Structure 1
Amino acid sequence: MPYKIPESVLVVIYTPERDVLLLERADRPGFWQSVTGSKDSVEEDLRSTAVREVHEETGIDASTFDLFDWQLANIYEIYPVWRHRYAPGVTHNKEHVFGLCVPTRISVTLAPREHTQYQWLPFAEAADRCFSPSNAEAILQLPQRHILSKN
């Protein structure tokens, strides 16, 4: 199995009312997050990565809704439990943040190997539930980001 590319997307899926979709990781019960995923190839552009990951993890076709590149990137240390997925010596990942506005709390189809359940929560509650600090921070930026994306 090839190593993961240490460049990924984080996609905050939300409604106009600022309800946020969270997914529980199958490999870590109790770890809630937004859609995340690494590029499949160095050549894959970030928007394509975001659309692909949203579809793989939720069944949502992100190309039919408002997908916004928040022009925000986080560099974080990869949790030791997941470092074996990356080439030897790779310890950090660059995560690019996107927002996906859907009209309402829509049903999703989870990828069972990746996630066991989902929930829609008001944005502040969703931020509190996230295990990842960068994910929580992105969700807390939602009120400002949503206003900017409408303009």
Structure 2
Amino acid sequence: MKIPQSVLVVIHTPALDVLLIERADAPGFWQSVTGSKDTESESFEATAVREVREETGLDARAPSHVLSDWALENVYEIYPQWRHRYASGITHNTEHLFGLCVPKAVPVVLSPREHQAQIWLPWAEAAERCFSPSNAEAITWLPRFARAFAVG
């Protein structure tokens, strides 16, 4: 069963181009990297690093990458079609937000069981493309957080 605590990682360049990946099980559902904790004790940062590696092949701790904890959380209702992944009665998830600045837009290695396509878009276009309202909102915050963490 999935733990209802997850991360959302907005991967971007200094120019604020954002990586979106398309879910394999929901064509047309474009999103940033997301994923649940593997254990209750796993930190949100460790979850972010692991999910970025699993979903894109990128190393969030590489010297040229800057992982920033935005110290924000969304609590949202889990879509009914995905509730079977959680324990009975779980209807909401807490999602912790991170940004990951990479030097430039590069092709990533997708996990084929999870994602089928990738695209780098300017942040405003990326926000419009996202299916999830919380993901879209996080991307609209990117210019502010990029400045706050002195990225770019």
Superposition TM-score tier, normalisation by shorter sequence: over 0.9
1:137 to partner: Cα distance? 0.3
Aligned-partner SS, 2:18: strand
Using the size of structure 2 for normalisation, the TM-score is: 0.97
The one-letter code matched in structure 2 to 1:135 is N
1:12 corresponds to = 10
**What CA deviation, in whole Å up to 9, does each residue of 1:22-67 have, x standing for no partner?**
0000000000000000000001011000000000000000011100
Q: Which runs of 4+ in 1 moved over 6 A?
A: none
1:107 to partner: Cα distance? 1.5
Aligned-partner SS, 2:111: coil
1:106 to partner: Cα distance? 1.3
The one-letter code matched in structure 1 to 2:124 is A
Aligned-partner SS, 1:127: helix
Aligned-partner SS, 1:139: helix
Say how many residue pairs are matched: 149
In 2: Cα distance, 1:144 partner to 1:95 partner = 19
The one-letter code matched in structure 1 to 2:20 is L
**What CA deviation, in whole Å up to 9, does each residue of 1:55-100 have, x standing for no partner?**
0000000011100000000000000000000000000000000000
Q: Percent identity?
A: 66
**What CA deviation, in whole Å up to 9, does each residue of 1:106-145 have, x standing for no partner?**
1100000000010000000000000000000000000000
1:50 corresponds to = 48
Matches within 5 A, 1:128-143: 128-143=128-143
Q: Structure 2 unaligned runs (5+)?
A: none
In 2: Cα distance, 1:58 partner to 1:127 partner = 19
The one-letter code matched in structure 2 to 1:13 is I
Using the size of structure 1 for normalisation, the TM-score is: 0.98
Aligned-partner SS, 2:41: coil
Q: Structure 1 unaligned runs (5+)?
A: none
The one-letter code matched in structure 1 to 2:58 is I
In 2: Cα distance, 1:89 partner to 1:49 partner = 24
CA RMSD of aligned residues (A): 0.7
The one-letter code matched in structure 1 to 2:69 is D
Matches within 5 A, 1:48-127: 48-64=46-62, 65-127=65-127
